[in-house]
Chain A
Amino acid sequence: MSILDSKIPEGPLADKWTTHKNNINLVNPANKRNIDVIVVGTGLAGGSAAATLAELGYNVKTFCYQDSPRRAHSIAAQGGINAAKNYQGDGDSSYRLFYDTVKGGDYRSREANVYRLAEVSANIIDQCVAQGVPFAREYGGLLDNRSFGGVLVSRTFYAKGQTGQQLLLGAYSAMNRQINRGKIQAFNRHEMLDLVKIDGKARGIIARNLVTGEIERHSAHAVVLATGGYGNVFFLSTNAMGSNVMAAWRAHRRGAFFANPCYTQIHPTCIPVSGDHQSKLTLMSESLRNDGRIWVPKRKEDAEAIRAGKLKPTQLSEEERDYYLERRYPAFGNLVPRDVASRAAKERCDAGFGVNKTGEAVYLDFAAAIQRYGKEKALTSGIHNPSAQQILELGEKVIEDKYGNLFQMYEKIVDENPYKTPMMIYPAVHYTMGGLWVDYNLQTTVPGCYAAGEANFSDHGANRLGASALMQGLADGYFVLPYTIGDYLSHDIRTGKIPTDTPEFDQAEKEVTERIQKLMSGAGTHSVDYYHKKLGKIMWNKCGMSRNEKELKEAIDEISELRADFWKNVKVPGDANGMNTELEKAGRVADFLELGELFAKDALNRNESCGGHFREESVEQSGEQKGEALRDDVNFKYVAAWEYKGAPKEAVLHKEELTFDNIELKTRSYK
């Protein structure tokens, strides 16, 4: 039997969470005052967890590398948040959201966790509205919804293209209320460098004050890691510059298993790379696929003419365009899930139909939507014989109301007007479904160390549906963790404050200090970014949208060599006693250089195609699904949880078998 115990409660799926809540231990209010909890990361998951734990009465310390919790990268989420409210009366329910999420994740997530997520989703919206989050509304004053990829209902709540911002500021406001009450101490511009374990339990962290360079010890009865994903292992991604895997990786090195590292989401609609100087990629929200149609020219000559600047996309007639998603997937069309849309774009570009100078871009076209909305608006405004110009103006106004900030962002970056000419987009690394392995209580394999939000692996399987990251972050932080952590902490009511002058803290601090010294004393041939970019190229070329055995093996060797070179030759100027942004980056890249190798090893192990993980060796050979990803449920219906044993090569695989009692495993078809 596996040593992994997912602790899924007994009973029917729909009752598990309620039963579990009724049966777990609680901590009485007086005792909560004697218990400390550390929350690392202040995005949606960390911010909401910190606020709720503090409100319950625990003493909370939060840590973030940014200068304010409000800047966590959840803020950049654009399109929306899913919730099974069924306000549209279009047949939505907890079960349907659960079903869509499990199917969307290509049957590689845990049923019980996903059902709980769907169950609490509706409550998130109530909570956020009560907090004053200004969601989009209809003229009647009620909440508006839109639709996202991979589903057939409208269940996405949104605040223009800034939903993540509004939800994060909501969680931040809840935190502020607790900071004002003295229940949260916020340590901003602080980075967690290690997890401290005492008698096998997580009892604190070592953090670096990024302004003074001081190494600090912080103790607690439990540690929550809500530190986001590791997409920056690719160097170029839609993540923030500072997003990193350090906290999760440090916990991994201390015994927390790392699950499914190869599950990465490559988002189909990002602004294409423009040159070597590029530092990050910008997402164009999936919500745009509600109204935008994706296409490339039907004829290769036209694509070549466009690349050479001799032809404009608007000069091509309908017949000369290949709306390849609508062609290949008539049922879902432009709203197929992200992994499917990304691979389809890559397929067309690899075949020579790309439309920008690098040949790595496809069109996202709003002309049809502008016409449709323009005519509709003319009708409802009582204009009977609208001119073409009137229709255009009215239609553009509707599009502006819906997506104005995204269009503006596109225009600023690309210097083209997307109202007049189609946007150019290409897939980019966006989200990581893998993360720290957690049980049903969100506890990692280190007792007392919890992981929430993108930092854990649990809910999205091998592919995340749009607008589900915000849902999961807030579900974990507001509604799940505050209950489940109480069960653990109920055993700590007599423990008393955890001292920091113990051998365990001494040892952890010593290791952290030595590591910093080692980073500072490299031979100094290349900058941190030099290594990070090299790592990113290996990852993108060999562990990207399409993977095979040969290249994955090469990637493992190349990353391992690069890591050795990094530790010998990296150049970190300045000193460690004060603000040193290069030192910060060096520490993060050092961990990416380990994670990257484990990532490739996991991808090599998983010789099947599922969700965002596409193995060229595992493709449907015939029938309607020919060429589509081929899952292998006989051999790979498990969570791959890796145990740290030194170098990533030595990592040991533990399997958590996935059971599907409430959903029939099917080939995921969006045709």
Chain B
Amino acid sequence: MSETAALNMQDIPQRQLPEHLELQRTRVFCKADAPVHTEDVEYSGAYAAIGFDNSLQVDDFRRDFRVEVKNLSMDVIEFDMIGIDASLANAFRRILIAEVPTMAIEKVLIVNNTSVMADEILSHRLGLLPIEADPRLFDFLSENDTPNERNTIVFKMEVHCKKSGPRLTVKSDQLKWLPNGSELLMESPNPSTKPRRFTSFSRSQASSGRPIGMKHRDIIITQLGPGQSIELEAHAVKGTGKVHAKWSPVGTTWYRMLPEVKLLKEVKGNDAEKLVKKCPVKVFDLEDVGHAMKKAVVSKPRDCTLCRECIGDGGEENIALRRVRDHFIFTVESTGALPPEVLFTEAVKILEEKCERVISELS
């Protein structure tokens, strides 16, 4: 982009920013040495002198905001969120990681563990296993609550490796769901009273909805040598990723701004071929312009990974790498408790709830 001196600027039409300012407002410039204009201009009156209104209007937002799902599979969704501020997109990301609740094993009651793995580490590994259970059907278990069918899922694991057999790999499918709650009896100081169980389920969880289990059945938990055995009960409760990463519903979730690759000059012939070859993700393509001449065109800007190969060594004169400031390519990788698209709506709900809380606090 050529920069013009202020005095030489042409008369500009009102209510519109000059080209370079408009670019600065809407794009992040990924220069070879550092990105510039990464921060957007938030103040509504920033361009008031030119007569440009920088404020955000709800109607405009409603009109311009779009979501385009690009890719959806069992666990991963990739969609474009267009016409939104980075702070909002980031809020969704943050809520997805830390505040959307899931179920995860929190308490492990070990009856017997003769494996080489220490109890604490075994429990830690169990805690990280994703559980296929809709967290919306459960309540949070607070400190004074008794564990019941509304807030606790109980699993049981009993594995034994035969004395004369080979080593046994314990996988997550060894965890068996106990819809009727804990089977272990609490040790009571007074032997005369009837011993209590660790949970008090009033009805079976099996009656309501889908059966609960591990999301993946092939996660290796530990290995047992001949003669070793593990017997335990694992209690899963609802929680959020803020407390521990095991409750995070996503492996990770992130966004990137839409890449924009612009050829500032025409790149022809040998240079074009070089350019095409340079890019490891094939952003550029060749186009015939006749006379056996070829010119480079930008074919897949979305694939740009910002390796900056094309703008090194003076390439910056020919090519500009930019990011569109209000266009987010959002990816959610679910761990499996909920489908990724549901997770996102959950995140939206949480944000909504928070806003309502703020409004009610203020009024």
Genuine A/B complex: no
Q: List residues of B whose CB falls within 8 A of some A CB.
A: none
